Structure 1
Amino acid sequence: MSKDTDNSNLTADNSANTTSSPSNDRSANNVAPNEVTFALAQSHFLVGDISANADKMRQLAIQARDQGADVIVFPELALLGYPPQDLLLRPSLSGRIKSALSALSDIQDIVMIVGYPHVDHHGTFNSAAILHNGHQKGFYHKQFLPNYGVFDERRYFDKGRNQVLFDYKGITIGLLICEDLWEKSPIADLKQQGVDIIVSLNASPFETGKQDMRKTMLTQRSREHKVPIVYVNAVGGQDDLVFDGGSIVAQADGSIAHEAPRFLDQLMLATLNVDSNTFNTQEKAPLTLSRESEMYQALVVGLRDYVNHSGFGGVLVGLSGGIDSALTLCIAVDALGADKVYAVMMPYEFTSKISLEDAQAQARRLNVSYTVCPIFDAVEGIRHTLAPLFNKSPADTTEENIQARARGVILMALSNKFGHLVITTGNKSELAVGYSTLYGDMAGGFDVLKDVYKSQVYNLASYRNRLEDTPVIPERVITRPPSAELRPDQKDQDSLPDYEVLDGILTLYIDEDMGYQAIVDKGFDADMVAKTIKMVDNSEYKRRQSPIGTKISQRAFGRERRYPLVNKWSINS
């Protein structure tokens, strides 16, 4: 392939064919002939909503063109949304995608690089289409298909096997999709073929510290190959995943020329000087988010998009006066607005006066609907019904769990009656060791703190309080010992290690996949490690029945960590 330096021609070279046709010069803007302006369309494209996604692409392309852009780049699989999972197996997929691509054919005077699933007689591919002035000039198929963590692409896609470059306005542009850029060979092959700039389409989910990892990788790749990189990422929540944006333009020397805000839709323009092959630099970089800030924003976006796109008019929170429900209530209000959040306090005889006071104080501070619904009659009714069956057996955790299940019944009844989603308040530490009640405090449709360890709950609560002059979470909710209040003077640490110790063990066992001896070698008590691992393994059946929740860690429960319910693996085997 030879580089075409005529500004009025776009040439694409891909695995299927090489095409070239004249395009109309734009006379409506004042872009200098030795410059190419890229628009990075960091936006949320809803899974399965193909026609609406195409409409959004149309609007963004026209907006970008009117602002002087030559090329607009959309995220990975944006036309269908990511991750589409088994929607990729639907027989009607190919026809719907072709219709959507055809609907974009009347957009003139801007090159569109569109992420989409390509279906033909060779297979199904995770692809990028090059659209210009009503014609598809070429396409690229993703070469490296991730099959770890939350990714399952080898189930759905065939592997692309060729590099794709296209010439436009004097530069040769190479295409990559997400995982291709994390591998060394695709960009090296493009560089060998004479590429001037890399454009990468991405749907990279959030986890803490992920943006720093992306920037490190982009700096390394661009500097190593002396080539600028345009990196466009998706944004928004999809089920248990959150995409945090943070799209980046890297110079050939590895420096960051542009960085988009995190967790926000953004149409970011970056202009390349063709003569020097360098981008202009943004006047003001986005704020760097602290670890607590990015975690909190991810939780807000995850809940917001799940509730809004699922069609619920509001959410119900069982407000206990404890720190987990207090933080959950804050996130719900920040995600949806106080008018869509309904707090219900369900006291029993073991509920302390402090809990009642603190729950009411927080509800008033956040201006949410607040209802007190005592559960004494419900619990006593169930206990009376069960009394003949229990044959005077001594009370144990069974009676404690009846309290939790009575609360679950009440919340679910309110949900059925008024159409609000019940959001649960269990944290990752509790779910890990089974310190939760099936059909009780686990009853609901979305668990906001599912991937947040208890020690992180405290950090996030303190972070949220620092955002305002008057704390939204009463200080003693944060400082007093945590308790489920299912029996007199109950404390979590009656049954569990101190949370700092417990979370240290859980992080090594769950997030870092370490075994018993490796964790003991880190300095933890051997008996405590063995007990913790046993609790985690024995609670898998509970987690399988728990609601989904936003992933923020390296390894979350759910699609990312899947263990058999029945197995004979042990710490000694």
Structure 2
Amino acid sequence: MKIALAQINPTVGDFAGNRDRILEYAARGAELGADLVVFPELAVCGYPPADFLEKSTFVAKAGHTVAELAEWTRAPGRPSILCGTVMPTNVPVGKQVKNVAALLSGGRVRFVQQKMLLPFYDVFDEQRYFEPAAHQQLIEIGEKPLAITICEDAWNDKDFWPRQLYPVDPVESLMEEWQKERVKEQRIILNISASPYWHGKAQVREDMLAALAERHGAYVMMVNQVGGNDSLIFDGSSLVIGPDGKVAARGASFKEDLVFFDTDAPAVSAAKPWDETVATWSALVLGTRDYVRKCGFKKVLVGLSGGIDSALVAAIAVEALGVENVVGIGMPSEYSSLGSIADARKLAKNLGIRFELLPIHEVFAQYQHVLKPLFAGTPFGLAEENLQARIRGSLLMALSNKFGALVLTTGNKSEMSVGYCTLYGDMVGALAVIGDVFKTRVYSLSRYANREREIIPQATLEKPPSAELRPEQKDSDSLPPYDVLDPILDAYVERYCSAEQIAEEQNLDVALVRSVQKLVEQSEYKRQQAAPVLKVTRKSFGMGRRFPIAVKVQV
């Protein structure tokens, strides 16, 4: 059987655009002689649609779009289409919609497979919306039987995972049906997915699907969505794995692709080395590009301090949007070093972007003058430091309003974890590009940015991190060194380890670990007011990590 896997980049709610993308790739599949062209989970409406699923007009538009796609298949010689969409359940009890894979052939919806396993963890919220399937069944195309699954339906193999999340395994049920009815037929398991990226997931996904293929003696074909939708980034990386567990074909990562495979002429794909620094860079570039463009904007503003975080964000933005769409704004105060201003200028020159300097000395002095009667008798401290950050935030937002450019925030995950950031100051903006990147990883990504030539100045890479909000300030004045802090945060924020576990594991004083934990807990109110964070780790700040603000507990 000749199958084309079309990993496309849909936009939530853009039914016309998604339809045209599907038809474009269906036509490309037809040119290759495909019998079937397969598209990702909810490709018709975009993933994740969230509460749009509760709007009957949204669901109705999905139905109209599916009808248009089905009509395309009416013409002789055209391949069938298998695509993900939402459909009404039309039942009096239970959820109103279902997540389905619709097989379109001969001008009609020939078959619908409903998703059975609905994830309700991390960023997933599918049990909120969808009615799960009660059963699964095989379908034939050209006398070839197919087992169709949707994303999570393939993620419950008892032989791969130490603990199953669900009491049923849709793939196992489909293979039992195959064993009863089609014993001699070549086994093909199709999986349409919207599987978001995080560090290490691509390898886990490949290993899991390979184990599934070997266990059932089947071809496993997974087509995955690509692109960014809000905080989530989808890497594509679609796969065809043979019954021997070896990868027979693979799609590109972080860009659209069409993977063609003929089960009657199998091949083995060369192993693809997976570098997590390159993958993270690609994810952040894609996530930034899609967030800006899908929100209807072209240009972005980045406050350039001369530090490494803002330098990295600017470099990512340039690759994502082009030099003509990125503007750097320097906003030095009396505490900004001449070196930092020079580094910001040099970065802008290296990137080729427009750079504007807006000194805040006079504005800061005026604020202090206005506040002087109330601040009388108090020492210079956090209020004055944060005031500088808030002046900068106000200037950036004024420019955003005036010129219609989104502000990209520059805080990293280490800072957001412990609250080393200013609410309504450096946290203002539309997107936290590196909000899921620990400081130590910021350096590795910055070195990658310089892979071909110097983009980020060497002085920026070498100087001690500083917010420059008071004389001779350094991050290490308030925080442990980042090579100590980041492993603690990784263990506590991403793996939920206790203070005692972290102290023992990392050979640290438990009091130090508890002090870091306290900073994390005290900063929850800031994170819940932060810009959306591009997710590149297993546990990022945002909808996948849910904690109350008012608490009195350390665990």
Question: Structure 2 length normalisation: TM-score?
Answer: 0.93
Q: Which residue of 2 aligns with 1:228?
A: 219
SS of the residue 1:191 aligns to: helix
Q: Which residue of 2 aligns with 1:211?
A: 202
Contact 1:44/1:265, CA 8 A, preserved across alignment? yes
- Pair 1:464-2:449 in alignment: yes
Contact 1:505/1:524, CA 8 A, preserved across alignment? no
**C-alpha distance in 2, partners of 1:229/1:444?**
42
Q: Which residue of 2 aligns with 1:5?
A: none
Code of the residue aligned with 1:347 in structure 2: it is P
Contact 1:38/1:270, CA 8 A, preserved across alignment? yes
- Pair 1:83-2:48 in alignment: yes
Equivalent in 170, 174, 178 of residue 186 of structure 1: 170
Moved more, 204-213 or 382-391: 382-391
Code of the residue aligned with 1:97 in structure 2: it is A
**C-alpha distance in 1, partners of 2:297/2:136?**
44
SS of the residue 1:136 aligns to: strand
**C-alpha distance in 2, partners of 1:43/1:248?**
14
Q: Deviations over 1:474-526 (max 9, x none)?
A: 11211111000111111100000010110010000000011122112212221
- Pair 1:475-2:458 in alignment: yes
**C-alpha distance in 2, partners of 1:333/1:288?**
26
SS of the residue 2:88 aligns to: strand
Q: Which residue of 2 aligns with 1:72?
A: 37
- Pair 1:494-2:440 in alignment: no
Contact 1:429/1:453, CA 8 A, preserved across alignment? yes
Moved more, 158-167 or 542-551: 158-167
**C-alpha distance in 1, partners of 2:156/2:491?**
27
Q: Deviations over 1:201-232 (max 9, x none)?
A: 00000001111011100110000110111100
Contact 2:13/2:58, CA 8 A, preserved across alignment? no
Equivalent in 274, 277, 295 of residue 289 of structure 1: 274
Q: Deviations over 1:514-563 (max 9, x none)?
A: 11221122122211101000000000001111101210001000001111
Code of the residue aligned with 1:394 in structure 2: it is P
**C-alpha distance in 2, partners of 1:281/1:240?**
34
Q: Which residue of 2 aligns with 1:49?
A: 14
Contact 1:432/1:536, CA 8 A, preserved across alignment? yes
Q: Which residue of 2 aligns with 1:130?
A: 103
- Pair 1:350-2:330 in alignment: no
Shift, 1:171, TM fit: 1.9
Code of the residue aligned with 1:120 in structure 2: it is T
Q: Deviations over 1:14-68 (max 9, x none)?
A: xxxxxxxxxxxxxxxxxxxxxx210101010111112221222122212211221
Q: What pairs with 1:324-335 in structure 2 (closer than 5 Å)?
A: 324-335=309-320
Equivalent in 408, 415, 433 of residue 430 of structure 1: 415
Q: What pairs with 1:160-199 in structure 2 (closer than 5 Å)?
A: 160-184=133-157, 185-194=169-178, 196-199=187-190
Shift, 1:94, TM fit: 3.0
SS of the residue 1:295 aligns to: helix
Code of the residue aligned with 1:507 in structure 2: it is D
Code of the residue aligned with 1:333 in structure 2: it is V
Q: What pairs with 1:371-520 in structure 2 (closer than 5 Å)?
A: 371-466=356-451, 468=452, 470-520=453-503
Q: Which residue of 1 aligns with 2:266?
A: 279
Q: Deviations over 1:397-429 (max 9, x none)?
A: 111111111111111111111010010100000
Moved more, 173-182 or 95-104: 95-104
Equivalent in 15, 34, 59 of residue 24 of structure 2: 59
- Pair 1:527-2:511 in alignment: yes
**C-alpha distance in 2, partners of 1:129/1:215?**
25
Shift, 1:291, TM fit: 1.1
Say if 1:401 and 1:506 are closer, same or farther in 2 by CA, change over 3 A: same
SS of the residue 1:342 aligns to: strand
Q: Deviations over 1:181-206 (max 9, x none)?
A: 01132211111111621110000000
Contact 2:434/2:534, CA 8 A, preserved across alignment? yes
Equivalent in 289, 298, 302 of residue 283 of structure 2: 298
Contact 2:42/2:83, CA 8 A, preserved across alignment? yes
- Pair 1:118-2:87 in alignment: yes
Structure 1 gaps, min length 5: 1-35
**C-alpha distance in 2, partners of 1:164/1:521?**
51
- Pair 1:360-2:345 in alignment: yes
Q: Which residue of 2 aligns with 1:317?
A: 302
**C-alpha distance in 1, partners of 2:228/2:14?**
14
**C-alpha distance in 1, partners of 2:71/2:54?**
29
SS of the residue 2:64 aligns to: helix
**C-alpha distance in 2, partners of 1:312/1:383?**
36
Contact 1:455/1:499, CA 8 A, preserved across alignment? yes
Q: Which residue of 1 aligns with 2:529?
A: 545
Q: Deviations over 1:93-123 (max 9, x none)?
A: 3321221111123223311111011212234
**C-alpha distance in 2, partners of 1:291/1:563?**
28
SS of the residue 1:193 aligns to: helix
**C-alpha distance in 2, partners of 1:549/1:132?**
40
SS of the residue 2:191 aligns to: strand
Contact 1:173/1:198, CA 8 A, preserved across alignment? yes
Contact 1:78/1:114, CA 8 A, preserved across alignment? yes
Code of the residue aligned with 1:219 in structure 2: it is A
SS of the residue 1:321 aligns to: coil
Q: What pairs with 1:245-284 in structure 2 (closer than 5 Å)?
A: 245-273=236-264, 279-281=266-268
Q: Deviations over 1:117-144 (max 9, x none)?
A: 1212234111111110102111011111
Structure 2 gaps, min length 5: 158-168
Shift, 1:281, TM fit: 4.0
Shift, 1:570, TM fit: 2.8
Q: Which residue of 1 aligns with 2:545?
A: 561
Contact 2:494/2:540, CA 8 A, preserved across alignment? yes
